[in-house]
Structure 1
């Protein structure tokens, strides 16, 4: 069948074949497929359905409708409506994972983090969110999923969707600390858990960015070509500048 290369990602080669997506598999793929199957059983339909492996050893997933948002982001990706819908969708996803039975010999690409409250997606961002007519419709790319606390997912989602960035971040517009504080509170309210507060999400965003910088540098030093490209592109410099900004403005951003 005809294969159409799907652009946008920079970690693995992804192709479309008919109504399916094919991508290279890893040791974590069986565990991730078990998770995706569990989501379907729990009624969460906004993630790809696992369809096994093809003759080339690639994983096969159902193709979700819509398209992911790419940088520079369209206006709808940073609207208040999108922020509310994304964080409500993340809550729905998290609730569908709380009773996920870990398969024997479960393997994850990214390390698990305590406390093990849910199965974190670990990369909730516009580029992994499908949109239909400008509205969030699903999540893709669960390769980096692993057990962890809810706030770990929410921290990175807030970093990308609020967004919690320094004024010099080249990817998104900057509207000031007050607007970031308002949108962070809006995101937390949309998630709808009394255990989740802006200060916890902000702290998780800082910790996640620190972990991401360490991961990129370690993998690049080990010779990973994808992470070498990320390092050479200057992404870690952006993340480190954003970390400093969030630390400096923590009290203002988490107020209320």
Structure 2
């Protein structure tokens, strides 16, 4: 049986070879490998074990986690309320484990740290970077964008993807404002957000989307093929529309 499989991904080519995943390495990969080792030592099992870098230094090796990745935003297990609760708890457990990560002066992060750097954020804890088993989120993958930041910075983007907080012109997945607001509260409760972070969540979600647009456009301008394709397909405009809608309908209401 062929044990080599090219996995579905949005930016990088990722290959599974048996129980190991090979993915392109960056300057930040040694720091990410150390983070993944720390998470295991801290008792967090919802992330792949690190297996170091390839001999050429151009690939990063991590454990393959069996299950189904949430690429289909509309799948029942992705949209279900039980998944919303489980994801809030998974993200909280990850953040709590990462809070004790010993930061070193020579750490390299793909994204710049943000203050207050309360935890190590995943940076892209969305459905497509979540492994589902038994219909529920059980693990996070693809830690390339991990970086020190406030808890709410991560929570805001995860809520955007899991609630979801999509403007009405995204007809297939959008929710009426009262239902989206209710689900946003369910997620905030499951995570256990502080009162201040809960109140800030909608505004931070809009800020997070605008930061994502800046990131996408900068990488597209540098010739990155995946981001150039995303911009050409209008993903940046989608995020800006959603950011404005979130600010208009959710600010000060959670």
Q: Which portions of structure 1, spanning 4 or more consecutive aligned residues, are displaced by more than 3 angstroms? A: 195-198
2:94 is the counterpart of 1:93? yes
Aligned to 1:122: 123
CA displacement at 1:197 relative to structure 2:
4.3
Distance 2:90 2:226 in 1: 29
Question: Residue in 1 aligned with 2:137?
Answer: 136
Q: Select between 237-246 and 33-42 the one with higher mean Cα deviation.
A: 237-246
Q: TM-score, normalization: structure 2?
A: 0.94
Gaps (5+ residues) in structure 2? none
Aligned residue in 1 for 2:209? 209
Alignment of 1:106-255 (within 5 A): 106-169=107-170, 172-251=172-251, 254-255=252-253
User: Secondary structure in 2 aligned to 1:16?
Assistant: strand
For the Cα contact (< 8 Å) 2:73–2:127, is it kept in 1? Answer: no
Aligned-partner SS, 1:249: helix
SS in 1 for 2:83: helix
* Secondary structure class of the residue paired with 2:51: strand
Deviation at 1:146? 0.2
Match of 2:193, SS state, is: coil
Tell me if the contact between 1:188 and 1:196 (Cα under 8 Å) persists in the aligned partners: no
Number of aligned residues:
252
Q: Find the residue that maps to 2:137 and give its secondary structure.
A: strand
Contact 2:126 2:158 in 1 (8 A): yes
The 1:2/1:131 distance shift into structure 2, 3 A limit, reads: closer
Partner of 1:55: 55
Q: In structure 2, what is the equivalent of residue 21 of structure 1?
A: 21
**Distance in 1 (alpha carbons) for counterparts of 2:42 and 2:195:** 23
1:216–1:231 Cα contact (<8 Å) kept: yes
Cα separation, 1, equivalents of 2:148 and 2:122: 9
Contact 1:184–1:198, Cα closer than 8 Å, also in 2: no
What is the distance in 1 between the residues matched to 2:196 and 2:97?
A: 18
Is the contact between residue 46 and residue 138 of structure 2 (CA under 8 Å) also seen in structure 1?
A: yes
Tell me how far apart the structure 2 counterparts of residues 38 and 3 of structure 1 sit (CA, whole Å).
28
Counterparts of 1:196 and 1:15, CA distance in 2: 41
- C-alpha distance in 1 between matches for 2:71 and 2:26: 25
Rate the CA distance shift 1:46–1:245 in 2: closer, same or farther, 3 A. same
1:78-89 paired onto structure 2 within 5 Å: 78-89=79-90
Structure-1-length-normalised TM-score: 0.94
